[in-house]
Structure 1
């Protein structure tokens, strides 16, 4: 039995050194999870036993350190969860390696060409639809379509000391600056992204009372005499300068321009005040915008992929999902920092970062290997001594046999 015991010890120590060597070799592999070996005795129905065997090689799924990424598609996970990947054949794999890039078709892939999966944003503007299916995420290459203005806001202060203008004696005329108190410009866009400049005129008609006039100066609606048509709204303030008109929404209209849709939206003035201070507006705005080309994209800490465009807008492209298992240690290692589901691991539960028992996904981060080099060096010394000791038992057993042979 001595030979078999020693040989089993040599085999087990050799496999332990293999595990240590693999850990050290992958100490710089992104998302690598270190392994550890477990031994068990071999029972032979006697008090002595037949030696040792390797019962399992377990993987340590503790977190590695999150460091700075190298590209806009690099991602790291803190806590539970795996990136969900599919290959061309549709097989599903799981990984902690967050090194991703886009392929020639705009799909997000890892270095082995597997597709990162999640929710694809759809619609105008793109959103994640309830009940959306999980699938490969694709980054569109086309330009962002224009959006027609359908609402706007105007906030600011009107000077309470402004001179009152009598509309009866001095009717409103945009060509006559004495017929209005102030004017403010607002940019708006039609369905093709054509820019329209809208003028909003303010006329103080009495204390705490004003009349507003709006007109699309780029493409105005015209009356029967060919003159621009203005939309009017009266607004009133209380003695403390707060707006009492409700709702305070000035309609804006304009004719079709270069084939685009007609302008027709309301400009909300609920934030206007009247104080004894200079008239000033806080950057009036509308929700429309022209078409734009993609400048780039980033992955947010919730896994949302957000693109920025030359028109100053941002748009949701998709959202990465994470998957977790009841027993991650039961996953089957497939190489290339990937694992696959097994009956021992249980079925995957997939969802958005930070929900349920899923960890947090961070953009522009990479998870380093969780190998502890100092620990591995100590293990290597221990297993080397173990190997030497087992070889010594074989040598001793051989010498005893030699002595017995000589006696005969």
Structure 2
């Protein structure tokens, strides 16, 4: 009999207590995975090998195995906190080294990268134009806080029912300012190339059974009249006169502003009169425009913008319909009755007063599912595809790892996608501390992909995965390990007593 078995038992029990103590110490560590000491018996080898009647010589630690079980998921107030529910690890990089972790406590650094407390950057897929996720080699995720660029309207769609029993309006011709000259008006905001909103109003005028004319107004002015109003904005002579006024105003001392104003008024008058004449204005209407421009030019202290406004206030030319709608006996739009016109209509909206954007906004105007039934005229829905600029308000990750940014203009766009990594043998990962592991030869190469695909789990934002340690079970294990330690100590004590008996033989 020897002391070897007892000593090995004491060492094994001490190692088990070390592991249990480490588990208990990390019971509140986010993403921590408990470990378990695993033991193997030991036999002494001889020349003839180990026989069935050979006593073992103790125990040894075979492995300290991590227990990659799912921890409980707890909600937090931080939108950058993320928990993995299922398999996989967050993939991070620090100083060029790739690490893997289950701790999803992240924050933004000064450069907009998502990092953990140790500064390791979370990796994933980047995005291209329009927020399109670009799968490929994972890169550190950087949140782009730049404003969302405006998008000009290219299509407007309206769905409505026009009452087949409606009467032809009492007032003819149509006027956007006279409700008795049309049956229905539907306004909607559209956006120019700089994201400025403009009210596009569609007016529906019944002309007979199943037949309707459609007129369009921009910011309350029928578009033919608005085109006349905008005539001076691109006219070469008017542009030259406007620039001359700006130069005089910027001079020190100021130049002859009165003469510059008269010059601009004359150039603007000529441009608007030419446009109004082409649009079919009467002699009386032309005379009104001319007298108004002449009077405005001699007004003390007036500016080109104020001259434009005075001229626009008196412009009145015959309106031109944007198109017409014809319905068959079943109340549906009839392609043959509308021929040669086809839907959607093409509408060119003048941008006036100028905003610095493109001077016109051209878009398609559709009437999908529009009907003419014997029911009150009603607008079901009207949509358009443009929007103004927006600044990033908030962002969060979805179950699939896509980080979705929400902007002040009501739009949302993907800012990146978090990837997860999994291993054939997670127990083969090398612990690095700080809740991180590294790939090793026994873990296998990582399988990288988007959450919810393959063996990878689901992400939950504003949540963390608590430690997988069961504190009650660890305390019971600690009592057991203590008893094992005491029992091994007792075997050494017994061996000592036996040896003492042999020494005392006479």
Deviation larger for 138-147 or 32-41: 138-147
- Distance in 1 between the 2:426 and 2:349 partners? 62
1:228, CA displacement in angstroms? 8.6
Q: Deviations over 1:154-197 (max 9, x none)?
A: 1222222211259xx93333244333222211111111111111
Aligned CA distance change for structure 1 residues 312 and 231 (closer, same or farther; 3 Å): farther
After TM superposition, list the pairs within 5 Å mapping 1:289-308 onto structure 2: 289-308=387-406
1:292, CA displacement in angstroms? 1.6
1:185 to 2:280 alignment: no
- Distance in 2 between the 1:155 and 1:53 partners? 79
Aligned CA distance change for structure 1 residues 230 and 286 (closer, same or farther; 3 Å): farther
For residue 126 of structure 1, the aligned residue among 124, 128, 131 is 131
Paired position in structure 2 for 1:198:
200
- Distance in 2 between the 1:143 and 1:11 partners? 63
For residue 371 of structure 1, the aligned residue among 469, 472, 490 is 469
Paired position in structure 1 for 2:154:
150
Aligned CA distance change for structure 1 residues 265 and 133 (closer, same or farther; 3 Å): farther
For residue 59 of structure 1, the aligned residue among 66, 79, 89 is 66
- Distance in 2 between the 1:229 and 1:60 partners? 78
Between structure 1 and structure 2, the one with the greater Rg is: 2
- Distance in 1 between the 2:417 and 2:193 partners? 28
Structure 1 stretches (4+) deviating beyond 6 angstroms? none
1:401, CA displacement in angstroms? 2.5
Contact 2:176 2:217 in 1 (8 A): no
Q: Secondary structure at the match of 1:154?
A: strand
Say which structure is richer in helix.
2
For residue 87 of structure 2, the aligned residue among 67, 74, 80 is 80
The alignment's TM-score, normalised by the length of structure 1, stands at 0.92
1:237, CA displacement in angstroms? 2.4
For residue 249 of structure 1, the aligned residue among 344, 350, 365 is 344
1:52, CA displacement in angstroms? 0.5
1:345 to 2:453 alignment: no
The alignment's TM-score, normalised by the length of structure 2, stands at 0.75
Contact 1:241 1:275 in 2 (8 A): yes
1:283, CA displacement in angstroms? 4.6
Segments of 5+ residues of structure 1 without an aligned counterpart are none
Paired position in structure 2 for 1:91:
97
Paired position in structure 1 for 2:24:
24
Deviation larger for 290-299 or 211-220: 211-220
Paired position in structure 1 for 2:122:
116
- Distance in 1 between the 2:346 and 2:145 partners? 37
Q: Deviations over 1:284-331 (max 9, x none)?
A: 231111112221111111111111111111121111111111111111
1:229, CA displacement in angstroms? 7.1
Contact 2:322 2:347 in 1 (8 A): no
Contact 2:213 2:321 in 1 (8 A): no
Q: Secondary structure at the match of 1:380?
A: helix
Segments of 5+ residues of structure 2 without an aligned counterpart are 232-274, 277-314
Count of residues in correspondence between the two structures:
403
CA RMSD of aligned residues (A): 2.2
For residue 354 of structure 1, the aligned residue among 432, 437, 452 is 452
Q: Secondary structure at the match of 1:404?
A: helix
1:160 to 2:164 alignment: yes
1:380 to 2:478 alignment: yes
Q: Deviations over 1:346-379 (max 9, x none)?
A: 1011111111221212222221222122221221
